[in-house]
Amino acid sequence: MLSSLSRLLGLMRPSSLRQYLGSVPLPPSQEQQPKASAELDHKACYLCHSLLMLAGVVVNCRDITPDQWGELQLLCMQLDRHISAQIRESPQATHHTMLKDLATQTYIRWQELLTHCQPQAQYFSPWKDI
């Protein structure tokens, strides 16, 4: 399950969602284009926010086993790379700030899960085989 989510997390980037949503042609009027572009940006952020909330629910409702530790670690790295790093905050776009906050909160929650399910290191013990 986490490996499937890992493959999908990269598709949740606001820029990817904006490109997908932008496949619908913008209005031809020059006046309408900035407004339509801002609306498209808002829709992409809203969709990313919704998908990130769902991803958080999927991860948080599972008991993470030590075997899934690496998959969760990969999810954290992808969340940071694909979503947190891609969002540019600005005073005019509070939806960017809200999305970045959610990504940060999700990242912190997942990091806490990682610390609780960290696999035990296998140390060499000369007494083990005796």
- Residues 6 or more apart from 24 whose CB is under 8 A from it? none
Three-class DSSP category at 1: coil
Let me know how long the chain is: 130
Count the Cβ atoms, other than its own, within 10 Å of residue 48.
26
Per-residue pLDDT tens digits for 32-69: 667 778 888 889 889 999 999 999 898 888 778 877 88
Is residue 129 pLDDT above 70, yes or no? no
Per-domain residue ranges for the chain?
36-60+68-111
Three-class DSSP category at 98: helix
- Residues 6 or more apart from 9 whose CB is under 8 A from it? 55, 75, 78, 79, 82, 83
